[in-house]
Structure 1
Amino acid sequence: MSSPIPQVSLGGSASHIKIGQVGFGLMGMTWCDPSNTTPDEVAFETMKASVDSGSNFWNTGAFYGPQSDPLANLKLIKRFFDANPSYKEKVVLSVKGGMDLENYAKVGALAPSAKIEVLEKDLNIIRQTLGTESGGKEIDLYEMARVDRTIPIEEAMFNLLSLSSQTYKDPKTGEEKKGKGLFHHISLSEVGAQTIRKAAKVAPIAFVEIEYSPLERSAEELGVVKACEELGIVIAAYSPLGKGMFSGTLKSRSEIPQGDLRLRWDRFSEENFEKNLSLPQALEQVCSKLASDQTVTPSQLTLAWLIQRSEKRIIVPIPGTSKPDRVRENASSANVTLKESEIQEIDRILQNHKVHGDRYNQVIRQHGLWA
């Protein structure tokens, strides 16, 4: 079946797998105050729309739920495939893990671990939740959500290889071994260029997930885009619409619902929100004159610009939404091609707008949960 949007091949051992140039992030449907969880009937319609629109790459996490139910997102996915079994083979599923779920459930804190026993336990929990052993969805791609700084990245990669379906050489004996087959392909999350290069020498990397948007361009500044282009690794760009700032709909901080994670983050603070909102407002004002041969929304303009940041088209934005119309709008941005003059105009606007505040908040920075 042909895709309605352009596709890109994943990297490493997953190079035979093609995904839409725009993916789909499911986090927001469940990682929120329980009262704001997306109802199944709405979520299912949106999930169908993503695949039907070509966004067949789904990004989820083993902890994408409230403290009372960390596995809520995985449970949602299982319910979807149980109700819509024909979609199971159409979706390329990526799951973030490598966190201590018991500690999260007890105290609400997430701590990364690349220890083999932690990763194996995590994968078994994910498989059990998805119903993998009884015909449910397989884990196509698995990534540690954050780097475990207590273990060399090379050791972490060998641990992942031993649990994957990959064949690898034992670093101690040189003997060729087959992994346990708990998942298929390895990915990375929140890593710098040096870590990517070290990891890629040990294990094949399908993609690297990192925050990337007009509001957060450190992937360029720190050489992540260059490293991935050189190594043939796809970049899954999460929060590509600046956590809603570039959607064209978020006009005021008061519109963010109570319990929303964004209210805790520096860039959405009362001090910084209005200052940062000036950037998407500037882009929205010139949206009509940019892409002059096409009619585009602020979201489509932003996603198209992001895709074209790499000449090799390795960047796959993974915006999240609970609205079918919005997921179709986002997917169709892969069919938008911006002229060089239009990209230069956007870049000029970005250069003239300072970003206020860091990505997250002081508590997260102190615990080293991002790289």
Structure 2
Amino acid sequence: MTSSSSMPTLPLGGSASSEHISRMNLGLMGLTWTDPSHFTPDDEAFATMRASLDAGCRLWDAGQFYGPSVDPHANLKLVKRYFDKYPEDKERVVLCVKGGVDIFGKGGYAEKSMAGMAPVTNVDTLRETLKQIRAELGSDKGGKELDLWEPARFPKAISVEEAIKMYISLRDEGLFKHLSLSEVGGETLKKAIEVSNNGIATVEVEYSPFCMEAESQGVVRICEENKIPILAYSPVGKGLLTGSVRSRDDLPKGDPRLHQDSFSPENFDHNITLADSINRIASERGATAAQICLAWILQRSPIFAPIPGTRKAAYAKENAEAGKITLDSKEVKQIDEILSQFKRKGGRYNEHARNSGSLWA
């Protein structure tokens, strides 16, 4: 492996291309999307966030619902507290926030948890959710601006044209700076690029050695053709590929992974074998398994910008170092051979999520 001296960057897509993000970034979900008793303490969370930023990771990926139903805005509140303590970092961070679901309305997330995650299709309700984000961040009172906003799931109840025009109208009202999309399939993405007049700044989808469906869905190709960065979430298989999760007992109470098929009792032992294979390569190369996964993704396509999450500052630094790693052809071939022989058990998330049409919409 060889390494470069600084974190590479790439421009945002389309009309936002004058702004850049780093190739390696930070996901904030795991800091708060759990039972309140397992929230990461502020001093530990802040150390992780600052370590990642100091290592060159410019984009932070947050969520309006990255908290338990009793405290849905926990993630936004954490971000606000961070910038209250470190206001000088506001201009250093490109903040992306997922939303687009009704948090506090009847039948919404606060009432029904994950069952209340239906995408909002009413412009007035969606405007209110965006105002809620801005209020939590203090955006209109000297707090952090909402740099990127993305609907967490693309609505199926209205056309792509209707949805994109609604999002663009809210952007033009000044509620957020740039539009991102999440969990979209290739056809939706093509239409969105056209309707938005090339106004899609990033696309966020799951991508890792454990999940490469973004390629077969056409998302990677379309993003390459249109120079749109892909925020690759769960780039180390939701922690499964790091080797740190060795059993379901390693997951804390309230952890969303406990309800996902890949982590189910009948599938876990099989799926962990991929982590074992990658760990063997990592130990031979003097790197961590997470670094091997992240470096592999970065070399897979120049438009990938992974957003690994962690609760530990030391791991944030390790992940950032993967942005400087270059795998040689032998290493890439080893990984590709392993992946060609491995067949994951259990689909993405769970049967309800897959049947709802919310994935690859």
TM-score, normalised to structure 1's length? Answer: 0.92
Is the CA contact (8 Å cut-off) linking 2:102 and 2:126 kept in structure 1? Answer: no
Aligned pair partner of 2:135 in 118, 128, 133:
128
Quick check: 1:262–1:268 contact (8 Å CA) kept in 2? yes
Once residues 114 and 13 of structure 1 are traced to their aligned partners in structure 2, the CA distance between those partners, rounded to angstroms, is 25
Do the aligned residues in 1 keep the contact of 2:348 with 2:354 (CA within 8 Å)?
no
| Structure with more helix by fraction | 2
**8 Å contact from structure 2 (residues 203, 230) kept in 1:** yes
Which of residues 107, 111, 117 is equivalent to 1:106? 111
Aligned to 1:200: 193
The one of the two structures with greater contact order (alpha-carbon pairs below 8 A, sep at least 6) is 2
In the alignment, which of 191, 200, 207 is matched to residue 212 of structure 1? 207
TM-align CA RMSD: 1.2
Q: Of 222, 227, 250, which residue of structure 2 is paired with 1:255?
A: 250
Give the letter aligned to residue 338 of structure 1: L
**Do 1:23 and 1:316's aligned partners in 2 also have CA atoms closer than 8 Å?**
yes
Distance in 1, Cα, partners of 2:19 & 2:243: 33
Residue 367 of structure 1 aligns with an amino acid whose one-letter code is S
Local SS of the residue matching 1:257: coil
Alpha-carbon contact 1:234-1:315 (below 8 Å) kept: yes
- Is the 1:143–1:186 contact (alpha carbons within 8 Å) kept by the matching residues of 2? yes
In the other structure, the counterpart of 1:285 is 280
Report the secondary structure of 2:71's partner residue.
coil
1:210-261 CA distance string (max 9 Å, x none): 0001111101122111010001110000000000011232222221222211
1:5-50 residue CA offsets vs partner (Å, 9 max, x unmatched): 1111111122111111111000111110111001111111111111
Deviation at 1:289, TM superposition (A): 4.0
Match of 1:143 in 2: 150
The answer to whether structure 1 residue 26 and structure 2 residue 28 are counterparts is yes
Q: How many residues align?
A: 349
Give the TM-score of the pair, scaled to structure 2: 0.94
For 1:276 and 1:53, the matched residues in 2 are separated by 31
Question: 1:259 & 1:308 partners in 2: Cα distance?
Answer: 34
Hey, what does 2:14 align to over in structure 1? 12
Query: CA offsets, 1:139-162, max 9 Å, x none?
Result: 101111001101111111111111
Which one of 339, 357, 367 corresponds to residue 346 of structure 2?
Answer: 357
Q: Is residue 94 of structure 1 aligned with residue 101 of structure 2?
A: no
Contact 2:34–2:253, Cα closer than 8 Å, also in 1? no
Q: Could you tell me the percent identity over the aligned residues?
A: 49
- Distance between the aligned counterparts of 1:269 and 1:154, measured in 2? 38
Verify: 1:155 aligned to 2:162, yes or no: yes
Assess if the C-alpha contact under 8 Å between 1:96 and 1:142 holds in 2. yes
Greater shift, 200-209 or 244-253, is seen at 244-253
